[in-house]
């Protein structure tokens, strides 16, 4: 692989640009020399017209020509940059990205089945605990009905304790059944790779007209500051002049 000396190439590029745009350099120097004769403070209408004409010459003429020359000089490098991007994206990354997506789809099918299988096991465990609890409580109830002596009452108490243990086991089984998908499907490879199924919440496409004022108030804490600033600028551009929490003021700039 060829090693590019970036600083050297950058210097060479700047030298080439100077050679190719000697006319623009000459015009720049002339404008700077003429600019030195411009008044530092306008005291008459004639001076104002002179400054206005010179500003036009700087921006409309020289600036426009510089921009055109810059875009022309930059075009081959932009084309080369796009070629490099396309090579890596399409030739190298696209096939492996497609393979990654295929394996992700395959993994999702397996992870979904694995989660369903383990949840079925947990559900069966819970059903068994519920049945054990029911039987224990039924036995305790019958024992209490037959209790006529201290010994029978003690036996009933033991059965109640057993019923309480069964209830605790059922509650634990229910808690286990509520485990997150990631905890049921987490898989690690021998070389550090891992995958898991995860819960994600998505939204279907919507129109801003669907949102009520109450909805917008609930969303406000989640709107990024940059988005709020864009909305405020759009509000002002549309003619808005008063907005709670925002100071809108008039200013002047030279056009």
In the prediction, which pLDDT does 3 show?
45
Instruction: Write the CA distances from 52 to 55, 64, 211, 219, integer angstroms.
Output: 5, 17, 50, 49
The answer to whether residue 121 is domain-embedded is yes
The answer to whether residue 16 is domain-embedded is no
In the prediction, which pLDDT does 149 show?
63
Mapped onto helix, strand or coil, the DSSP state of residue 194 is strand
List the domain range (segments joined by +) for residue 155. 112-195
**What is the C-alpha end-to-end distance of the chain, expressed in Å?**
52
Cβ atoms 144, 155 nearer than 8 A: no
User: How buried is 229 (Cβ within 10 angstroms: 0-12 exposed, 13-18 middle, 19+ buried)?
Assistant: exposed
Buried b (16+ CB within 10 A) or exposed e, 116-149: eebbeebeebbeebbebbeebbebbeebeeeeee
The answer to whether residue 169 is domain-embedded is yes
In the prediction, which pLDDT does 1 show?
43
248, two tokens: 């809108």
- Estimate the crossing angle of helix 6-20 against helix 22-35, to 10 degrees: 70
The Cα–Cα gap between 156 and 165 comes to 14
The answer to whether residue 189 is domain-embedded is yes
The answer to whether residue 153 is domain-embedded is yes
Our count of domains for the chain comes to 1
In the prediction, which pLDDT does 19 show?
94
The answer to whether residue 180 is domain-embedded is yes
The Cα–Cα gap between 43 and 156 comes to 111
**3 secondary structure, DSSP code:** P
The answer to whether residue 143 is domain-embedded is yes
99, two tokens: 């393979």
Mapped onto helix, strand or coil, the DSSP state of residue 37 is coil
In the prediction, which pLDDT does 161 show?
83
- Estimate the crossing angle of helix 94-146 against helix 150-177, to 10 degrees: 170
Cβ atoms 114, 185 nearer than 8 A: yes
The answer to whether residue 167 is domain-embedded is yes
Cβ atoms 170, 124 nearer than 8 A: no
In the prediction, which pLDDT does 171 show?
79
Ranges of residues in the chain with a pLDDT under 50 are 1-3
Chain segment 48-57, per-residue pLDDT in tens: 999 998 888 8
């Amino acid at each position: 692989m060829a090693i590019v000396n970036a600083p050297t190439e950058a210097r060479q590029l700047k030298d080439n640009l100077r050679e190719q745009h000697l006319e623009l350099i000459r015009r720049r120097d002339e404008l700077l020399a003429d600019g030195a004769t411009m008044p530092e403070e306008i005291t008459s209408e004639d001076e104002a017209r002179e400054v206005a004409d010179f500003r036009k010459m700087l921006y409309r003429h020289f600036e426009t020509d510089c921009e055109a020359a810059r875009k022309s000089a930059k075009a081959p490098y932009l084309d080369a940059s796009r070629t490099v991007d396309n090579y890596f994206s399409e030739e190298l990354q696209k096939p492996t990205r497609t393979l990654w997506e295929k394996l992700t789809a395959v993994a999702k099918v397996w992870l979904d089945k694995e989660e369903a299988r383990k949840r079925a096991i947990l559900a069966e465990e819970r059903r068994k605990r519920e049945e054990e609890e029911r039987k224990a409580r039924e036995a305790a109830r019958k024992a209490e009905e037959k209790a006529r002596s201290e010994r029978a009452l003690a036996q009933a108490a033991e059965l109640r304790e057993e019923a309480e243990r069964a209830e605790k086991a059922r509650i634990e089984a229910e808690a286990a059944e509520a485990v997150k998908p990631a905890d049921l499907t987490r898989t690690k490879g021998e070389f550090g790779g891992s995958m898991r199924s995860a819960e994600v919440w998505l939204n279907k496409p919507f129109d801003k007209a669907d949102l009520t004022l109450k909805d917008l108030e609930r969303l406000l804490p989640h709107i990024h500051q940059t988005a709020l600033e864009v909305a405020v600028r759009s509000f002002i551009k549309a003619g808005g002049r008063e907005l709670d929490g925002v100071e809108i003021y008039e200013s002047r700039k030279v056009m």
